[in-house]
A and B are shown apart, each in its own frame.
Chain A
Amino acid sequence: DTGVSQNPRHKITKRGQNVTFRCDPISEHNRLYWYRQTLGQGPEFLTYFQNEAQLEKSRLLSDRFSAERPKGSFSTLEIQRTEQGDSAMYLCASSISAGHSSYEQYFGPGTRLTVT
């Protein structure tokens, strides 16, 4: 078990460009979550998948954000037309969907996005 992995670890982009991040969850976990964390704050929920179905989206997830998990394994998070306010750490987590265990989420190392 290699844990949750995320790529890239760091991304610097210019305002207006599109970026895509990848997350590979723990293999036996059917739930995958995306969170965003800014300085001095705890992680904030963006969206989550159970298998390939996107079940919930936060109102934080504007129309410029889209997430996919096409085969129920890895997931991608794309941000179109990036803005400076998108600069943050983007965290991916995974869990199994059984009672309290769904709240025992295991996080990847994150992707640090800087929009210049």
Chain B
Amino acid sequence: TQLLEQSPQFLSIQEGENLTVYCNSSSVFSSLQWYRQEPGEGPVLLVTVVTGGEVKKLKRLTFQFGDARKDSSLHITAAQPGDTGLYLCAAGGSQGNLIFGKGTKLSVKP
């Protein structure tokens, strides 16, 4: 069974701080997605990483795919209250579906 483990589960920080969240697995993936979800809404796709070692930037968010394509990280620089939400990593499953981690719940206090 493919599992994606995300850490930390919860993170509460002050505005302006930097943070990193992690997504780890024992399986190798052809691609990995990061989503952000706000309460009562569906997940919103942030990025897809495909190549081992790949780094993608989206404004203050930096995503990295591990060299072995088993893990990924998301780094946020100078977090803002608008970054608050549930950050989910996901990867392709054997049935054509996405398998999701449990997410990291981020709270950024002003």
Nearest A-chain residue to B49, judged by Cβ: A100
- Residues in B whose Cβ lies below 8 Å from that of A110: 40-42
Complex CA–CA separation, A73 to B38 (angstroms): 27
- Residues in A whose Cβ lies below 8 Å from that of B4: 42
B66-110 interface code vs A (CB 8 A; 1 in, 0 out): 000000000000000000000010111101111111110000000
Residue of B30, B31, B50 most packed against chain A (CB within 10 A):
B31
Interface residue from B31, B95, B102 paired with A45 (Cβ < 8 Å):
B95
Given A42-B103, A100-B31, A107 contacting B44 (CB threshold 8 A): yes
Whether B93 lies near A40 (C-beta < 8 A) is: no
Q: How many chain-B residues does the 8 Å CB contact rule pick out?
A: 27
Given A33-B97, A48-B97, A42 contacting B90 (CB threshold 8 A): yes
Residue of A42, A44, A100, A104 most packed against chain B (CB within 10 A):
A42
A41 within 8 A of B: yes
Complex CA–CA separation, A33 to B92 (angstroms): 13
Q: How many chain-A residues does the 8 Å CB contact rule pick out?
A: 28
CB-CB contacts below 8 Å: B30-48 with A: 30-31, 33, 35, 40-45, 48
Whether B102 lies near A109 (C-beta < 8 A) is: no
Complex CA–CA separation, A105 to B100 (angstroms): 12
A65 within 8 A of B: no
A79 within 8 A of B: no
Whether B95 lies near A56 (C-beta < 8 A) is: yes
Whether A103 lies near B98 (C-beta < 8 A) is: yes
A112 within 8 A of B: yes
Whether B43 lies near A109 (C-beta < 8 A) is: no
